[in-house]
Amino acid sequence: MSWLPLFAVSIATLFPGGDATGYEKVPAPGVRYRMNMATATSAPWIDSNLWRYRRKPDGKYLCDVKGKPAAALAMAEGFVTGINLTLDTTPDQKAEYDKMAAFLKALPGGPRQPWTNFSISDDGTFEAGEVMNLLSRRNLLYRIVPAAKADFKLEKPANPYEYVLNLRDKFGDDKRVFRLFGSELTVAEVAREGRKVRIHLINYGSRPVDTMRLRVRGNFAEAAAKAYIYGSDDAKLSEWQRDGAFTEFTLTALPLYGVIDLEDAAR
């Protein structure tokens, strides 16, 4: 399955009403807090459509966000993956839609080719979809390829959670091109073309992330880095460190969605 449509410039449209035939309906993105079976606390669960869009990048999707604080979040998902997305909204959500659309249109062009850790196959089963969902939530960057070319084959894994843990152990955290620290509710997508890298960050939580630490493979120049953060005029990239193979830095704020552009000085 080709993944080339991802990261194309794509801004969701508004559903005019009427017949929804031809659309694949997807749930509104967000976060839920579900009781943890092992403790008395609640555990956050990200409702993300990114894995659905990866599985079928040429689909035509309709996302019902009526009455939910999810319009801008859904637009971010659609923009990041470059899919054909339409939102079913209420009239009072038009201002939020217009604000996010203006932000997305103002973003400069950047890399679109996904930069991933490994490739997986997809047998089309529910279990494989759950594995892809978990990989996305854990920021284990993957691409979908035919089974004969896959680093890891998804063939109806009996336990998606155990499969993802085993896959992470087999691959190794030290080989990952990107890691994120400081937020369990932020999902990243990364693209690279030559020396240029673009990081997309989507915060699914109801509260802004105050600070997060990012680790990227490569030697990136602080002077060339730029951050475009929706809903924040004072977010900064700070506390840069390089160890030869990786660059680490801190993002000081992420209300909902942001883009970070980097340039590798070593290539």
Residue 170 pLDDT class (50, 70, 90 cuts)? confident
221 in any annotated domain: yes
d(CA 218, CA 204): 27
Does 255 lie in the same domain as 195? Answer: yes
Does 191 lie in the same domain as 213? Answer: yes
Tokens of 16: 């005019």
Does 212 lie in the same domain as 166? Answer: no
Does 161 lie in the same domain as 92? Answer: no
Residue 208 has pLDDT above 50, yes or no: yes
Does 182 lie in the same domain as 171? Answer: no
The CATH number covering residue 257 comes to 2.60.220.10
Does 127 lie in the same domain as 48? Answer: no
149 in any annotated domain: yes
Average confidence score pLDDT of the chain: 89
Which of 106, 134, 151 terminates a domain? The answer is 106
Residue 43 pLDDT class (50, 70, 90 cuts)? low
pTM: 0.90
45 in any annotated domain: yes
Residue 7 has pLDDT above 90, yes or no: no
Domain that holds residue 208: 178-263
Sole residue written with tokens 């449209």 = 13
**Given this model, what pLDDT does residue 1 score?**
35
56 in any annotated domain: yes
Which of 59, 80, 106 terminates a domain? The answer is 106
Contact 205, 212 (CB under 8 A): no
**Mean pLDDT calculated for residue range 8-23:** 85
Residue 154 has pLDDT above 90, yes or no: no
Query: Any idea which of 25-39, 62-76, 253-267 has the lowest mean pLDDT?
Result: 25-39
Write the burial class of residue 96 (CB in 10 Å: 0-12 exposed, 13-18 middle, 19+ buried). Answer: middle
3-state secondary structure of 143: strand
Does 72 lie in the same domain as 61? Answer: yes
208 in any annotated domain: yes
Does 21 lie in the same domain as 102? Answer: yes
Does 238 lie in the same domain as 207? Answer: yes
Contact 250, 212 (CB under 8 A): yes
Please give the tally of structural domains in the chain: 3
Residue 138 has pLDDT above 70, yes or no: yes
**Given this model, what pLDDT does residue 88 score?**
95
Residue 225: name the closest of 262, 178, 267, 266 by CA.
Answer: 262
69 in any annotated domain: yes
Residue 41 pLDDT class (50, 70, 90 cuts)? very low
Which of 175, 191, 207 terminates a domain? The answer is 175
Does 101 lie in the same domain as 17? Answer: yes
8 in any annotated domain: no
Does 93 lie in the same domain as 20? Answer: yes
**Given this model, what pLDDT does residue 29 score?**
95
d(CA 222, CA 240): 7
**Given this model, what pLDDT does residue 158 score?**
82
189 in any annotated domain: yes
Per-position DSSP letters for 7-48, written without gaps between them = T----PEEP-SS--TTPEEEPPPEEEEEE-SSSSSEEEEEE-
Query: Any idea which of 73-82, 123-132, 199-208, 232-241 has the lowest mean pLDDT?
Result: 123-132
**Mean pLDDT calculated for residue range 106-130:** 92
Does 99 lie in the same domain as 23? Answer: yes
